[in-house]
Structure 1
Amino acid sequence: MKPPRTFLRRLRKVALWALGVVVVLAIVATGLGVWSVRRAFPTQDGTLSLPGLSAPVTVKRDGHGIPQVFAKTADDLYRAQGYLHAQDRFWEMDFRRHVTAGRISELFGASQLDTDKYLRTMGWRRVAEQEVGLLSPQAQQGLKAYADGVNAWLAANTEKKGAGFAASGALSLEYSILGLQNSDYVVEPWQAADSLAWLKAMAWDLRGNMETEIRREALKAEGLTVEQVEQLYPAYPVDRNVPIVPGGAVVNGAFDQNAKGEPTTSAPKADTVPLPAGGLMDLADGLAKLPGLMGNADGDGIGSNSWVISGKLTATGKPILANDPHLSPSQPGIWYQMGLFCECGLKVAGFTFSGVPGVVIGHNDRIAWGFTNLDPDVIDMYLEKLDGDKVNVDGAWEPLTTRQEVIKVAGGQDVTITVRSSKHGPLLSDASESLKKLGGQYGLAIRWTALDPGRTADALFSLNKAKDWTEFRSAASLFEVPAQNIVYADVDGNIGYQSPGRIPVRGAQGDGRWFAQGWDSKYDWTGYLPFAELPSVFNPEQGYVATANQKVIGDQYQHHLTDDWSFGYRSQRINDMIKAKSGITLDDVQQMQFDNRNGFAPTLIPVLQADQRAGRSKVEQDADKLLQGWDFQQGEGSAAAAYYNAIWRNLLLLTFDEIPADYAPDGGDRWFEVVRALLDKPDDPYWDVKSTSAVEKRDDILVRAMSDAVKELSEAQGEDVSQWRWGAMHTLTPTHATFGESGIGPIEWLFNEPAAGVSGGDSIVNATGWSAGDGYEVDAVPSMRMIVNLADLDDSRWVQLTGNSGHAFHDNYFDQFELWRTGQLLPFRFGTDKETEQTLTLTP
C-alpha cells in the first residue's frame, strides 16, 4: 500500500475558501500584511506577567529561539514551559488535541467526519482521561502547572469568550485563516488530558506491524499464495546484520545479559483466517485516512537511529550518545528544543513536544538518553462473528458493549455514531461504510496496548530526574506505549540499553502475523511480558550499543517480540563505522549521522554490471560508467546515486507487478532482502511481467530497468549524465501541517517553504525516506539530530528539521533547515550564557 498521506495533508479547500484567496492577496499587497503576520509573534525580551508563579522565572534564548528556563520550583518551571510552548506553538497544540480527541470536524467541517469516526471509535481521548487519575501526585501536579501556564498565555493574549477564549490572529496567523471558514470557533482552556492524548498519537504512529498484518491478508485475498506472500516478508538476516543486544536470555524470571540461552525452535503459528471475499483494500484505505502526526507507520522506512559509545572508544574517555528519530516531515517540525532548570534540583535539556511537559529526549546533569522504535507487535486485528449486537465467543453469543459519540461539525449538523466493542476492542468495521464491506456477519476489532490506560507520563517525569542506571531503569519500567529502545549514558562513564514497553503474550494460537479469529479464545492475549524479562545490557564488552529498529536480540531469547523488524542495513552500517574507528570524537559521530551509504548497492551493482547489453546507446553507456567505482554514497550532487535509484525504482515496479498498485513496494530494506533472494533465482515467477505475453527472467528485467532509468533521467535532467543529480529528484518540501496543501496557492505560500534537494535515502543512516510506488520525494526524515558529550554536557550538539517557532515568517520558523539539510549542528548549551541573545523575565 502506498504510504498514507497523513490526514494533515488531506485538507481540501471548501467553497468559502475562495474568499481566502482575496483576503490573503490583500494582506500580501498592503502594509496590513506585516501587522497581520507579526501581531502573534511572542515577546522574547523584557518582562511579562505569569500569574501563579511563586517567584520570577528567567528565560534565556539564543539566536535560534531556543529557551533555557530558570525557575525556583518545579511548579514554576512547568508553568513557564506551558506558557512558552503556547507562545511559539499554540496552533499546533490546539490542532493536535482536536485530532487526538476525534474533533477535527469542529475545526474544518464535514470533510473530516470519516477521520473523526475512526478516532472516536478507538477513543484515544477517553483513555487519556482515564490515565490522569492513575498518575503519581507529582505527575498530576506537573500536568496541572503546565496547563495553567498555557491558559495564562491564552488569557493574556485574547479575550474570554464564554467558557473559552476568542480565536483570533493575535494567537497565530492560522486562526485568521481558519476564521475565513469557521468564524464561530472558540479556543477551549488546556487540560491535563490534552497532554496525555498526544502520547496516544505518538503510540499510533509508532504502532508496529498493523499495516503489515493487513497487507498479508490483502495480498492473499488478491490471489497470491501464502508462500508468495511469505516471500515478500523474509526472515531477519541475523548472520549479516547483528541484533541490538549481543547475547543474553531470561534466567529465573529476569533477563541476564551474560546468559547463553538455547535457540528457540517453535515455528510461527501462522493459522490464517477464512476471510470473506473483498473488503481488505477498503480497510487499508480507511486506516490510511487516520492522522499521522509524527510518522508513517505504513512504510518500512520509518524508524530511528541511536547509539552510545563508551569512553574506552572515545577521545575524551567518556561516553558519547547520538540519536536521530525518523518521522514524517512537517512545518513546523515535530520537536521544540528547550532547557529546564530549577532550584528543586531538576536540570534537564533536550527535545520536547509542544503540549507535553518535560523533556522527551535529551539529558540532565547526570544521564543522557535516546529513543528508537522497538516496533514490537502490539496490535492484533480480530475478525469477529456477529449476529446483530451479539458476538460469538467459543460457540456462545455474548452482547457487544456500546456507547454513543456526538461529533460536532463546523457549519453543519451534529453527527451521532454508535461505537460497539467486543472483548478484544472497538469494532473498526463500524467506523465507515467501506469497512462494512467485510459483510454484516463479520466485524473487525482492534486489540491495541495503547487502548489500555497506563502511566507513560510518569515515565517521562521520572526519566527527567533519574541520576543513575538504577533510577533510569525504574523510570523506563513505567514507559508502556509506544514500546521503545532506550540507550543510556552517564557522566560516570557507564552506558546501557533497555527495551521497555507493554508487549503482549499471545495464547495457544496466533502469532500476530495474520488476522486472529475472535470467536476462538485460544487467540486471546494472556498478559504482558514482565519488565524484568525484557532485554537490556549494561556496559557491554564491545563498548557500544547501536539501535536502528533492527532485531533486538537473537533467537536464544525465549519471548516473541515481533517478526517484522527493520532489516538492519542502517544498524549494521552504524556498527561498522564505530568498529572502524578508535578515539572517536564528536566530529566523527556527526559525520556518522550524515552518512549516505546505500547498503544494498554493493549487492545489486555487480549483477547489473555483469550484463553487457547489446546495442546500448551512448547515453546508456555513459550512465553505466557512473556505477563503476562509485563509493555508494548518496550525496545530493551524486549522478551515480540518481541513476542507481532510478534503476532500483523501475526494477521494483517491473518485478512486483503482481502486487496491486496501492501495495507497491516502498523500496526499503525489506525489499533489499526480497530482491537479494530473487537474484539467486533467475527463473522465479516474480520476474515475469504479467502484462506481456513473453515469460521474462531476471536478466530481462534488469536490462529493462536500466533502460527505463536512463530514459526517465534523460527526459527529466538531460542526456549529459554528468549533470544528473540525486538531489534534483530526491526533494523535500517543508509543508505546513494543516494549511500546507489547502489547494489555495496564496495560503500555501504563507506557510510552506520551497522544495530542496537532499542527500541520503531509504534505509540509509541519513534516512531521508521515499517510496518507490510514489516517486523520489522525501516522506520521512531524521526529525532532529542530537549528540551528547558526557565529558562536557555544555559541548553537546543538536539540530531540528525546521525551527523552534511555529509562527510563519518568524526568524526562527525555518532557520535550522539548511543546517539540517547539509549535516551541520548547533551548539547544545546546558545552562550557560554562551549563546544568549534575549532574556525574558516572567513575574508573578
Structure 2
Amino acid sequence: MPANTTAPSGSSDAKKSGRKKGRRARLLVIVLVLALVAGIGYGAFWSVSTVRASYPQTTGSIELKGLTGNVDVKRDDYGIPQIYADSDSDLFRAQGFVQAQDRFWEMDVRRHMTSGRLSEMFGSGQVETDAFLRTLGWRQVAQKEYDEVLDEDTKKNLRAYADGVNAYLEGKDGQDISVEYAALGLTNDYKPTEWTPVDSVAWLKAMAWDLRGNMQDEIDRSLMTSRLGEKQIEDLYPAYPYKKNKPIVEQGAVDPVTGKFDQDAEPSDGIGSSTVQDATDGLNTQLSALSDTLDEIPALLGPNGSGIGSNSWVVSGDYTTTGKPLLANDPHLAPMLPSLWYQMGLHCRQLSDTCRYDTAGYTFSGMPGVIIGHNQDIAWGFTNLGADVTDLFLEKVSGDGYQYDGRTEPFVTREETIKVAGGKSRKITVRETNNGPLVSDRSNELEKVGKKAPVTNSAPDRGDGYAVALKWTALEPGKSMDAVFEMNRAKDFTTFRAAAEHFEVPSQNLIYADTDGHIGYQAPGKIPVRVKGDGTLPSPGWTSDYGWKKDPVPFDELPYEYDPERGYIVTANQAVIDEKDYGPLLTKDWGYGARSQRINDLIESKIKGGGKISTDDMQQLQMDNHSTIAAELVPELLKIGVSDKSVREAQKLLEGWDYTQEPDSAAAAYFNGVWRNILKLAFGNKLPKEMRAKGDCLYVQPALGTGPVDERNRLVRECGQRDPDAAQPDGGDRWYEVVDGILDDTDNEWWKVPAKGREKAIDSRDELFARAMEDARWELTAELGKDISTWSWGRLHQLTLRNQTLGTEGPGLLQRALNRGPWHLGGGEAAVDATGWNAAGGYDVIWVPSMRMVVNVGDWDKSRWINLTGASGHAFSAHYTDQTDKWVDGELLDWSFGTNAVGQSTVDTLTLKKPS
C-alpha cells in the first residue's frame, strides 16, 4: 500500500461537480468494472451480482455463532449502525460482525500494514515498506501486550470482537467480501485469513507512529547543522509564543512536596535542559537516508507525521444556551476513502454487571469500543498532544555488536521472512541495541556508510560502522487498549482520569464534560525522562551519559484542569503548559498555537460580550477559515509599490479583504500564492539539500505570453528551478512564527537572495515581497488563467478522496471507479477549518477535519456529527461518500442516542440471532 498522496489539480466546477460525480459513480459502476476488466486484458468478467455480493445484509435476520442472546443492529438512512445487546460479549461480537460487513477490506489492509505483510497482498513493490515495519516490530509489541499486559476483561472483549469478524468471513470468498478482492484476484491468489485479537491491538501502534511527535524535526535540525549556524537554526525553530498564544493549561505546576501536579500551585524553578550536539558530527548522511526511508512508509493518519493536528474545545454550561456543557472535536488527519473513522453506537439494553456499555461515537474499523464520543454520563474528545516520545541515537556498531560505555554489547537479533505475492520471499535480519531497533539498517544508502569490515553473520545485509537506532515509547508494551474500554465506561472525572492513566500511546490531549455540568482536561501518555538533553537532536548511543531513565513522567505529574474559572478549555495542538512554570519536559516542539488562539479569542469575545454559546455557534466555529498569517502580512504587502499592471491588478485583490479563505475567494487564492513564494524565496535556497522537498511541481507552463519573451512575465518558474537541490518550507504554523519573528527587521539576512541567471539580487524584505507578488501572479495565471475575475481559492485548493490501496496505484480505470472528487474547499493551513496544504508541493488538500462533532451534553439527542465520507467501505454503496457533500458545506447530521430517537431514525433493522 503506498503512502498517502496529494490530490491532483482538476478542472471541474465547484461543489456541484463533486455531488454529480458521487451520484454518477453509482450509476456507472457496472460499466466501469467491465471496462476495467476488458482494459487490462484478463478476460475475466464481473457481473452485477459479483459487485453486489459484498454489500452487507441490513434487514431480516442472520444466525451468528457464539451469541448468548439476540442482537439488534439498527441503521439510519446514512447506514450508521446502532447495536443493542444484553451482554458485553454479544455487543462486541456484533460490533466485529457489523464492521466486517462494511469495512473488512480496510481492516485487512491495516493489519497487513501493522504486521509488515503488505507484500503478501500487493507484491514486490511493498517489500521495503514491510522491511521497515518489521524492523519496528509493531506486531511483536502488540502480541506481548496481549499476552502479558492487558486486562483479562479487555482480552475477552477483543476475542469476542474477533469472533464476530470471523463469523462474517466464514464461508466467503474474497469477491463476496469486497470488490477490491475481486480486482486483487486478477493478479494473485491472495485469500483473507481469520482475524485475531492482536490484529486489533496492533492498530494502536499505527496510530502512535503517525502521531509520534518531533522525530522529523529532530532529523531536520541535525541536517541543518551542515549549512546553517546555531542562530539561524534558532530562527527557524522559534520558541513557543506563550505571551501571544495561550497554552491549554494556564496555571499550575508540580507540587515539590506531594510530587503531583496541582492546578492551583505556584511555579518553582523549572528544570534545565541542554541541546545534544555531540552526536551530530558525521551523522548527516545517515539521517538524510533515514528521512528518505520515512517518506516511503505509509502514513495512515497524515503525511508522515507532519501537519497532524486537531481542534477540540469544551464550554461550561454557565456560558451556553443549553445550561449544560457543549463539546466540539474535529481531528485533522489525511483524507482517505473510506474515512479513517467509523460512526457507531454500542448499547446495552439494560446496564448491569454483565452488560456495561451505553456509548456512541467514532471508532476505527478493526477495533472494538468507541474512541471519541460520549456515553450516558460523560463526553470526551482527543487532539494530538505532540509529546516527544521518540529519540534517535547514533550507534557505533561492528559485526560483534554495539559499543556502550567502552564495552561491546551483543545485538538482540531476529530474522524475518517477507512473503511476496507472485515473487520470491526476502529474508532480513533485525538488529536492536539498548536504544531500540537499528532503523538505518533498512536504508540501501546506509549499506555503504562507515563499513570497516566484511559483512558478518550477525546481520547478513549490513556491515560495520555507524547506525541509527530509534527509541520510542510505543515499542514497549502498554495498556492503551484497556483505556479505550475504561473510558467507554467512565462515569465522572475521577474514573475518566483513571482511564486516561492507561492511555499511554499515542499521547493525546483529552477534553471532558459530564451531565453534572463539569468540564475538564487531562494530558496522558508515556513520556520519557531523559538523562541529558532535550530530545531536539540525535544523541550518542555509546554512552550512558544520554538515554532515558527507567521510569517515564509519572501520571500524577501530568497537567490537568477541572472546572477552570474562565469556563472553557481549548486544545488545538498548542503548548500544554508554559514550560518555565512546569517541571517535566514534555517536548520542545509544540504546534505554535495559531488555531488554538483563534478559537480562544472567538469564545472569549462571545463570553465577555455577555453572549451565550449555542450548538450552532460551536458548529460555525469549526468552519472558521480566517488566515492568521494573512492578517500579519497583507498590510505590508499593500504598501509595496508595484509598476507592472498585471501584478498591481492582483495586488488590488487584497485591498479590503477580511482574511477569510472561502472557496470562491480570489483574494485567498492570490495571498496563498504570495505566501508560498515568500517562503520559497526567503528560505528555499538556504536549507540543506538533504531536506529537499518531495512535493509535486504544480506549474511548468508559460504564463501570459503571446508575443516576444519578456523576462518580467516570460515563464512561470518551475518547481525548484532556483536550486533543484534546495529544501522548501511546508508553510505550517511554525513558519508563521519564523516570518513573524523577522517581519520588522526589513534588512534581515533571510530576506536577501543573491542574483542568479537573469534574476536580480534581492536585498530587503520589501524587494522580496515584491518578487513574491510577481511570481504568484504568474503562477496563478498558469493555473487559473489570465483573467483574475475567474480566480478562486477552491479551484487551487482541491480535495480528491482516494481509495488508499487500489485507488492510488491501481489501473487508471480502477482508480476512477474507486476514487471520488475533486471538491473545491475553503479553509487552509493553520486555520480552524484546517484543510491543510504543503507549500513545498502545491495547494491541494493533504489533511482535513476527518470528522466533526458537537456534543450537547446531557441532551444527547441534540448532538450533531459528520464523517468525511460514509459508513461503507464498498465503493459502489449508497453510503460510500454520502456524507461528503454535507461535510464540505460545514453541515452536521443529527446524532441519535436514546432508544426512542434511534428508533425514529432507523430505516433498516437486522437481527443477529443466537444459534438455535
CA separation in 1, counterparts of 2:840 and 2:40?
Answer: 40
Q: Which deviates more, 383-392 or 168-177?
A: 383-392
Residue among 636, 644, 661 paired with 1:616: 644
- Equivalent in the alignment of 1:162: none
- Pair 1:833 & 2:903 matched: yes
AA in 2 matched with 1:140: K
Q: Which deviates more, 675-684 or 40-49?
A: 675-684
Q: Structure 2: 5+ residue runs without aligned partners?
A: 7-32, 452-464, 694-726
**SS state of the match for residue 7, structure 1?**
coil
**SS state of the match for residue 292, structure 1?**
coil
- Pair 1:492 & 2:516 matched: yes
Residue among 657, 670, 690 paired with 2:734: 670
Residue among 512, 521, 530 paired with 2:535: 512
- Equivalent in the alignment of 2:814: 747
CA, structure 1 residues 20+687, in 2 after alignment: closer, same or farther (shift >3 Å)?
A: farther
Q: Residues 479 and 503 of structure 2 are in contact (CA less than 8 Å); yes or no, is this contact kept in structure 1?
A: yes
CA, structure 1 residues 790+435, in 2 after alignment: closer, same or farther (shift >3 Å)?
A: same
CA separation in 2, counterparts of 1:438 and 1:227?
Answer: 30
Q: State the Cα distance separating 1:26 from its structure 2 match.
A: 9.2
- Pair 1:687 & 2:710 matched: no
AA in 2 matched with 1:745: G
What does 1:341-490 correspond to in 2, within 5 Å?
Answer: 341-342=347-348, 343=350, 344-440=355-451, 441-490=465-514
**SS state of the match for residue 904, structure 2?**
coil
Q: Residues 654 and 671 of structure 2 are in contact (CA less than 8 Å); yes or no, is this contact kept in structure 1?
A: yes
- Equivalent in the alignment of 2:242: 238
AA in 2 matched with 1:820: W
- Pair 1:654 & 2:668 matched: no
Residue among 516, 522, 527 paired with 2:545: 522
AA in 1 matched with 2:428: I
**SS state of the match for residue 175, structure 2?**
coil
Q: State the Cα distance separating 1:708 from its structure 2 match.
A: 1.0
CA separation in 2, counterparts of 1:829 and 1:201?
Answer: 31
AA in 2 matched with 1:632: Y
Q: State the Cα distance separating 1:345 from its structure 2 match.
A: 3.5
- Pair 1:565 & 2:590 matched: yes
Q: Residues 570 and 763 of structure 1 are in contact (CA less than 8 Å); yes or no, is this contact kept in structure 2?
A: yes
CA separation in 2, counterparts of 1:261 and 1:559?
Answer: 12
AA in 1 matched with 2:584: H
AA in 1 matched with 2:823: A
Q: State the Cα distance separating 1:298 from its structure 2 match.
A: 3.9
Q: Residues 514 and 858 of structure 2 are in contact (CA less than 8 Å); yes or no, is this contact kept in structure 1?
A: no
Consecutive aligned runs of 4 or more in structure 1 exceeding 4 Å deviation:
19-22, 24-33
- Equivalent in the alignment of 1:148: 163
CA, structure 1 residues 30+85, in 2 after alignment: closer, same or farther (shift >3 Å)?
A: same
Q: Residues 299 and 305 of structure 2 are in contact (CA less than 8 Å); yes or no, is this contact kept in structure 1?
A: no
CA separation in 1, counterparts of 2:514 and 2:818?
Answer: 41
Q: State the Cα distance separating 1:667 from its structure 2 match.
A: 0.5
Q: State the Cα distance separating 1:277 from its structure 2 match.
A: 5.4
- Equivalent in the alignment of 1:136: 151
Residue among 164, 186, 193 paired with 1:188: 193
Q: Which deviates more, 247-256 or 742-751?
A: 742-751
- Equivalent in the alignment of 2:71: 57
CA separation in 2, counterparts of 1:536 and 1:735?
Answer: 39
CA, structure 1 residues 799+295, in 2 after alignment: closer, same or farther (shift >3 Å)?
A: same
Q: Residues 271 and 583 of structure 2 are in contact (CA less than 8 Å); yes or no, is this contact kept in structure 1?
A: no
- Equivalent in the alignment of 1:14: none
Q: Deviations over 1:752-808 (max 9, x none)?
A: 012111110010100000001100000010000011001410110000111110000
CA separation in 1, counterparts of 2:838 and 2:830?
Answer: 11
Q: Which deviates more, 91-100 or 257-266?
A: 257-266
Identity value in percent? 50
Residue among 267, 272, 287 paired with 1:280: 287
Q: Which deviates more, 826-835 or 77-86?
A: 826-835
AA in 2 matched with 1:686: W
Q: Residues 596 and 766 of structure 1 are in contact (CA less than 8 Å); yes or no, is this contact kept in structure 2?
A: yes
**SS state of the match for residue 207, structure 2?**
helix
- Equivalent in the alignment of 1:174: 180
CA separation in 1, counterparts of 2:230 and 2:545?
Answer: 22
Q: State the Cα distance separating 1:330 from its structure 2 match.
A: 0.4
CA, structure 1 residues 450+808, in 2 after alignment: closer, same or farther (shift >3 Å)?
A: same
**SS state of the match for residue 391, structure 2?**
strand
CA, structure 1 residues 606+592, in 2 after alignment: closer, same or farther (shift >3 Å)?
A: same
CA separation in 1, counterparts of 2:529 and 2:40?
Answer: 60
CA separation in 2, counterparts of 1:210 and 1:357?
Answer: 30
What does 1:6-155 correspond to in 2, within 5 Å?
Answer: 7=3, 23=37, 25=39, 32-133=46-147, 134-155=149-170
Q: Residues 20 and 180 of structure 1 are in contact (CA less than 8 Å); yes or no, is this contact kept in structure 2?
A: no
Residue among 302, 306, 312 paired with 1:306: 312
Aligned length: 817
AA in 1 matched with 2:243: D
- Equivalent in the alignment of 2:913: 843
- Pair 1:725 & 2:792 matched: yes
Q: State the Cα distance separating 1:737 from its structure 2 match.
A: 0.6
CA separation in 2, counterparts of 1:29 and 1:639?
Answer: 49
Q: Structure 1: 5+ residue runs without aligned partners?
A: 11-18, 159-165
AA in 1 matched with 2:485: F
**SS state of the match for residue 580, structure 1?**
helix
Q: State the Cα distance separating 1:258 from its structure 2 match.
A: 0.9
CA separation in 1, counterparts of 2:441 and 2:108?
Answer: 28
- Pair 1:204 & 2:209 matched: yes
AA in 2 matched with 1:469: F
**SS state of the match for residue 778, structure 2?**
helix
CA, structure 1 residues 297+553, in 2 after alignment: closer, same or farther (shift >3 Å)?
A: farther
CA, structure 1 residues 498+805, in 2 after alignment: closer, same or farther (shift >3 Å)?
A: same
What does 1:586-601 correspond to in 2, within 5 Å?
Answer: 586-601=615-630
**SS state of the match for residue 485, structure 1?**
strand
- What TM-score, normalized by structure 2, do the two folds share? 0.87
Q: Residues 302 and 769 of structure 1 are in contact (CA less than 8 Å); yes or no, is this contact kept in structure 2?
A: no
Q: Deviations over 1:697-720 (max 9, x none)?
A: 211110000011111222322333
CA separation in 1, counterparts of 2:593 and 2:248?
Answer: 10
CA separation in 2, counterparts of 1:431 and 1:270?
Answer: 25
Q: Residues 279 and 437 of structure 1 are in contact (CA less than 8 Å); yes or no, is this contact kept in structure 2?
A: no
- Equivalent in the alignment of 1:318: 324
- Equivalent in the alignment of 2:801: 734
CA separation in 1, counterparts of 2:222 and 2:882?
Answer: 45
